[in-house]
Amino acid sequence: MKKLALHWQILIGMALGVVFALILSNFEWGADFIGDWIKPFGTIFINSLKLIAVPLILASLIKGVSDLKDISKLSQMGVRTIGTYVITTIIAVSIGLTVVNVVKPGSTISEETREELVANYGGEADLKRQDAEKQKNAGPLQALVDIVPSNIVGASSNNANMLQVIFFAIFFGIGLILIPEKTAEPVKAFFDGFNEVILKMIDIIMLAAPYGVFALLAALVVESPSADLFAALAMYALCVISGLLLMIGVYILIVWIFTKRSPKFFLNGISPAQLLAFSTSSSAATLPVTMERVEEHLGVEREVSSFVLPIGATINMDGTSLYQAVAAVFIAQAFGMDLSFATQLGIIATATLASIGSAAVPGAGMVMLVIVLAQAGIPEAGLALIFAIDRPLDMCRTTVNVTGDASVSMLVAKAVGKLRDQPLVKNWDDNYKK
């Protein structure tokens, strides 16, 4: 019997998770049952993905950088990668601004709903504000200081320090290029083998993906707030989602134009990572799967994927920046403010920077939204308006974030001649069967 493709298995797992939770929420004990007996499996699944992230970045980036054999190639690729990331982010913010200005979802919010939302979510919004406050108080160069760890073991002990691990790996890779080849060889071979093992572990974890997403979505359904509030925010949510869909269209188009890969090829290759991004709301947790899919199913060679993707997971968040633009203007509209053209241009700049600064974890985009609001002079209390619907939108924007990273990696790979015509698909039991 032909095996069902992974993305279908994951989709079925997601759908069953939702249906299961909807059925169980009719019973008084349903939510507790899911919290106690189902949700932990989702947590285990996410943990196992996060577990892989640091060793994967270390091994693949060290190997990838050292394979470039030449530091000028590295800087060329770096400039190309960052440049493309910034351009896609600016496109995303502009799409968001256009949609929200045309649809004007904020004007559909009644005074009454606004007050209700502020009363319900004011407290939670305050917590986000405090988180943002910490970041705002830092000096202008703090972001740069934060990239350089003072201790590599310390840096690797926290997934939030991904940029520090990336820094170490690139630095180590450069060292490896500069030492005599004979001495470098065993080190490279070690990291190569290490990387293969990690990729195999991802294959094994992915066998559990349909069950993992079942648990994650079931838990989300029983924890989500009431449907009435969702309805009040429907127009806003629709703006974010249609902007995000347009952005996916942009990726498909640029991949098609610049690499001649069909939409079907691209989406088939990347969809399991997209579905995981949707289910986990974290591009960092999805990173191992994104890397595996991009290398083995989209044909990007490791030298490029190992460099472009970990950096992308931390700094390239097109979905987040698009959402921040829509949310900021929506809040302004709901408070009856008219934003000038100059303020909206300011939003393009701050949303681009804020998305770069957002951590790749659930809800991070909302914390950084505070900074976009503050810059544009929009009341930060407005966060409470969009709180109720943030999680589902987080799921959607994370999907776009991951898709963006994957498409940019294909563009960069094509530009530097590292895009394979035929991807080398590897299954978890390839060697085992023989």
Determine, following the binding rule CB under 6 A, whether residue 379 of this chain makes contact with ligand ASP: no
Could you tell me the smallest distance in angstroms from the CB atom of residue 66 to ligand ASP?
A: 29
The length of the chain in residues reads: 434
Angle between helices 181-207 and 39-67 (to 10 degrees): 160
Q: Which of 66, 84, 271, 398 binds ligand ASP (CB under 6 A)?
A: 398
CB 399 within 8 A of CB 278: yes
CB 428 within 8 A of CB 204: yes
Could you tell me the smallest distance in angstroms from the CB atom of residue 274 to ligand ASP?
A: 12
- Taking the least distance from each CB to ligand ASP, the nearer of 13 and 365 is 365
Could you tell me the smallest distance in angstroms from the CB atom of residue 153 to ligand ASP?
A: 25
- Taking the least distance from each CB to ligand ASP, the nearer of 61 and 285 is 285
Q: Which of 81, 195, 281, 352 binds ligand ASP (CB under 6 A)?
A: 281
For residue 174, the tally of other CB atoms under 10 A from its CB is: 15
Q: Which of 114, 394, 405, 407 binds ligand ASP (CB under 6 A)?
A: 394
Determine, following the binding rule CB under 6 A, whether residue 372 of this chain makes contact with ligand ASP: no
Q: CA 164 to CA 145: how far, in whole Å? A: 10
Could you tell me the smallest distance in angstroms from the CB atom of residue 160 to ligand ASP?
A: 11
Determine, following the binding rule CB under 6 A, whether residue 361 of this chain makes contact with ligand ASP: yes
Q: CA 86 to CA 316: how far, in whole Å? A: 8
Q: CA 408 to CA 147: how far, in whole Å? A: 22
Q: Which of 360, 376, 388, 411 binds ligand ASP (CB under 6 A)?
A: 360
Q: Which of 401, 403, 407, 409 binds ligand ASP (CB under 6 A)?
A: 401
Q: Which of 35, 78, 363, 423 binds ligand ASP (CB under 6 A)?
A: 363
Q: CA 7 to CA 275: how far, in whole Å? A: 7
Determine, following the binding rule CB under 6 A, whether residue 362 of this chain makes contact with ligand ASP: yes
Closest residue by Cα to residue 303 from 162, 177, 115, 165: 177
CB 7 within 8 A of CB 271: yes
Name beta bridge partners: 300: 419
Could you tell me the smallest distance in angstroms from the CB atom of residue 327 to ligand ASP?
A: 11
Backbone CA torsion sign across 69, 73, 75, 78 = negative
Could you tell me the smallest distance in angstroms from the CB atom of residue 312 to ligand ASP?
A: 10
Determine, following the binding rule CB under 6 A, whether residue 409 of this chain makes contact with ligand ASP: no
Residue ranges in contact with ligand ASP by CB under 6 A: 281-283, 317, 320, 358, 360-365, 394, 397-398, 401
